[in-house]
Each structure stands twice: as C-alpha cells, then as structure tokens.
C-alpha cells in the first residue's frame, strides 16, 4: 500500500495476509526481535484476531503502535521497536 508508506514511513514490511492465528503474532514478534531499536515494522494481515493479539502484545511490552488501519480486506499495523531493545 504505497499511500501508507508515504503517510507513515516504515523500515520493514511483514505480509501476513491469508495466514491464521497465532502465526501473524509469532512472526511479528520474531521480526521485531531481529530489527534494530527505533525501527518501524509495518504488518499487513487478513486475520481479525491479529487486532486483539497485537494490541495485547504491544500493551505488555514497550513497543509502540504508531498507527492501525482497516481497509475492508486487510488490517494494517505500524509498530515501533523501542529504543534500547536488543
């Protein structure tokens, strides 16, 4: 989604479209672990369970949900890895 990239920049994109729970959450956590502190991960998924899963995970960690959108087909999340995280 090019418009989202212009409006809300990101460093990496994780496409989890067509993948069911709990895989989007697990893959998102793995990707964030690999990223450098302060970077932004953009995740797209079609699994509505991701909204609750991602929100719960972000609330339990220092990660920041910069933006969240839904376009009738996909859920979009921009998640920032906090500074100082390894």
Paired residues of 40 in beta bridges: 80
8-28: b (≥16 Cβ within 10 Å) or e: eebeeebebeeeeeeebbebb
Q: What is the mean pLDDT of residues 62-77?
A: 93
Annotated catalytic residue: which of 4, 19, 21, 66? 21
pLDDT number for residue 86: 58
Q: Is 21 a catalytic residue?
A: yes
Alpha helices in 35-81 (DSSP H): 49-60
The 10s digit of each residue's pLDDT in 28-44 is: 999 999 999 999 999 99
Three-state secondary structure call for residue 31? helix
Which pLDDT belongs to residue 7? 58
**Domain spanning 2-80: CATH superfamily:** TusA-like domain (3.30.110.40)
Does the structure show a pLDDT above 60 at 4? no
């Amino acid at each position: 989604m090019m418009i989202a990239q212009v409006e809300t920049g990101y460093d990496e994109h994780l496409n989890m479209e067509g993948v069911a729970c709990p895989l989007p959450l697990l893959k998102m956590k793995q990707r964030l672990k690999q990223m450098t502190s302060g970077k932004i991960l953009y995740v797209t998924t079609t699994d509505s369970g991701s909204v609750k899963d991602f929100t719960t995970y972000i609330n339990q960690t220092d990660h920041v949900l910069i933006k969240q959108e839904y376009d009738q087909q996909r859920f979009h999340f921009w998640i920032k890895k906090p500074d100082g995280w390894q």
